[in-house]
Amino acid sequence: MTPQLAGHLLVDCLIAQGVTHAFGVPGESYLAVLDGLHARQSQIRFITCRQEGGAAYMAEAHGKLTGRPGVCMVTRGPGATNASIGVHTAFQDSTPMVLLVGDVASDCRDREAFQEVDYQAFFGPSTKGFAKRVERINDADRIPEYIARAFATAMNGRPGRVVLVLPEDMLTRMTSAQPLAKVEAVQAWSDPGALRTLREMLLKSERPLVIAGGGGWTPQSAQALQRFAENWRLPVGNAFRFQDTFDNHHPLYAGDVGIGLNPKLAARVKAADLIIAIGPRLGEMTTNNYTLLEAPCPKQKLVHIHSSAEELNRVYQADLAINATMNAAARSLEVLTAPVSVPWEQWALDANADYLGNLQPNKLPGDIDMPAIVGLLQQHLPPDAVLTNGAGNFASWVHRFYKHHGLVKGHKTQLAPTVGAMGYGVPAGIAAAVTTGRVVLTMAGDGDFLMNGQELATAVQHGAKTIIVLLNNGMYGTIRMHQEREYPNHSSGSHLQNPDFAALARAYGYAGVRITQTAEFEGELLAALGRTEGTLIEVMLDAEVITTRATLSAITEQALQGK
């Protein structure tokens, strides 16, 4: 074999693993890899980003969309620490991702060389960090081994993140090593005895409820889940920000179990006598601060199905714990023999009725009717459109009122950070546009947008069209809401002096418009869908409209009455 630069071999190994896109910010510490990308640009596309946090978010979104690790490339020190927010998002969202970090040369290590960081200490599992594996490749001949192991680790068990550190001098060595074959995720199948036990628990139940979500779902597993629910007439709720796991239009859909939870659904979760959690970790947001299901021993019978054995019985002591990947679990469940009739049919019908009732909007002030705007999104966006958002009260409008067909129709349609990280929506939307070519709608807040709004330059450079609906209320709305609840009339640090967002979008090469009335929105949305370039629609939202259910003044008044 003809020797080649190790940096070129690394790119060949990524291509062998099916990588079509890599997201990053270039750095002098991995110039040999960049040269490899140049040599193979017809096989792998490098998306040049404007900040490593945005690049890491894009890689994480790519991992969510494809089910295979999103790849992010950054330089040492500040590059890696900037990217850590995306790595942490991949951790809490259970998303496969590989972060490649160019590093100081081997002969400079442990001297506090320029931008040197101890990555094992920063990211590593041995320090309770948020990477599944952190490894340094010192031997160029072993690059294929490390890359294949990184992809296997990222996809197997609970999907997650792997950090590979690349010494600058190692990347410039010559090697005759060859890429290894593409690795696939291993399927962990449900234990047949556990499935029999699950069936017995269902037959004894009167008020069962399924909560589905987490990483690792595919269209096939979502379709199998739907058949399981239909066979047994089970109501299904989707875990926090995994609202595309089960079809929101289905008559068995009970709603999303997350922030801004429908009070009737919260009561239903508590009243259930059997919870079948398929895929979610059952984290703080899905359990409403561990109150819907009390930790460590819920009052409801709990069946917990998860792809990682380490997650089972870690927070909740399940009555039945099943270690299975989502594809295997759903396919096992769909063939579980159901009885001719079940005693909870009315319970399931009522759960769906409660969900539909929650779509009726609350009366709120101002000239912008947000439920109507979300209704126009529902009307005009294609069913396979990808919706992205970051963190903030603004996201609750699409969470509550937008109905996803989602994975059951063949496409993942929601990209939202369960980690609750601001600034995710814009770069995630760009990654979705680059990866899928589908229509992408990003819902952003004014504070959220400015966390990563610079990535509009990335979108324009790489031909990624997205539509951004930016809700501008002049504040960090979620924080202001909490301030009024805890310290009424004592706002501090939550006010924002904003730029002209529409003009800023135009400066980047997007179309930029501002609306102040609901009636203006439909025309601007249709125009945005018809353009070849991206569009930002700035929506001037009354500061009083702080949640989908209550005004800021009402929250303040309630807090004052309680003190």
**Cα–Cα distance between 345 and 235 in angstroms, integer?**
9
CATH label of the domain that carries residue 392: 3.40.50.970
**Cα–Cα distance between 119 and 167 in angstroms, integer?**
12
Same domain, yes or no: 322 and 293:
yes
Q: Are 99 and 87 in contact (CB under 8 A)?
A: yes
Same domain, yes or no: 388 and 488:
yes
- Domain boundary among the residues 301, 324, 358 is at 358
**Cα–Cα distance between 495 and 510 in angstroms, integer?**
27
What percentage of the chain carries pLDDT values higher than 70? Answer: 99
Same domain, yes or no: 326 and 434:
no
What percentage of the chain carries pLDDT values higher than 90? Answer: 93
Same domain, yes or no: 412 and 280:
no
**Cα–Cα distance between 23 and 62 in angstroms, integer?**
9
Residue 180, domain member (yes or no) = no
pTM: 0.96
pLDDT in tens, 265-304: 999 999 999 999 999 999 999 999 999 999 999 999 999 9
What's the half-sphere exposure (Cβ side, CA atoms, 13 Å) at 374? 21
pLDDT in tens, 239-255: 999 999 999 999 999 99
Same domain, yes or no: 493 and 425:
yes
Same domain, yes or no: 317 and 440:
no
pLDDT in tens, 131-149: 799 999 999 999 999 999 9
Same domain, yes or no: 71 and 132:
yes
**Cα–Cα distance between 440 and 436 in angstroms, integer?**
9
State the pLDDT confidence band at 112, using cuts at 50, 70 and 90: confident
Task: Give the domain extent around 541.
Answer: 370-562
Residue 364, domain member (yes or no) = no
**Cα–Cα distance between 287 and 266 in angstroms, integer?**
9
Q: Are 123 and 90 in contact (CB under 8 A)?
A: no
Same domain, yes or no: 413 and 351:
no
- DSSP structure class, residue 274: E
Residue 279, domain member (yes or no) = yes
Same domain, yes or no: 403 and 535:
yes
Residue 182, domain member (yes or no) = no
* CA-closest candidate to residue 261, choices 234, 288, 243, 295: 288
Same domain, yes or no: 378 and 329:
no
- Domain boundary among the residues 146, 175, 204 is at 175
Q: How far is CA 510 from CA 48, 426, 457, in A?
A: 18, 13, 9
Number of domains in the chain: 3
Residue 183, domain member (yes or no) = no
Q: Distance between the two ends of the chain, CA-based, in angstroms? A: 77
Residue 463 has a CB neighbour count (10 Å cut-off) of 11
Same domain, yes or no: 305 and 389:
no
pLDDT in tens, 324-367: 999 999 999 999 999 999 999 999 999 999 999 999 999 999 99
**Cα–Cα distance between 76 and 106 in angstroms, integer?**
13
Q: Are 318 and 252 in contact (CB under 8 A)?
A: no
3-class secondary-structure state, position 46: strand
pLDDT at 129 over 70: no
pLDDT in tens, 176-223: 999 999 999 999 999 999 999 999 999 999 999 999 999 999 999 999
- Domain boundary among the residues 124, 145, 175 is at 175
State the pLDDT confidence band at 121, using cuts at 50, 70 and 90: confident
Give CA 563 to chain center in angstroms. 38
* CA-closest candidate to residue 426, choices 413, 442, 414, 415: 442
Mean pLDDT over the full length of the chain: 95
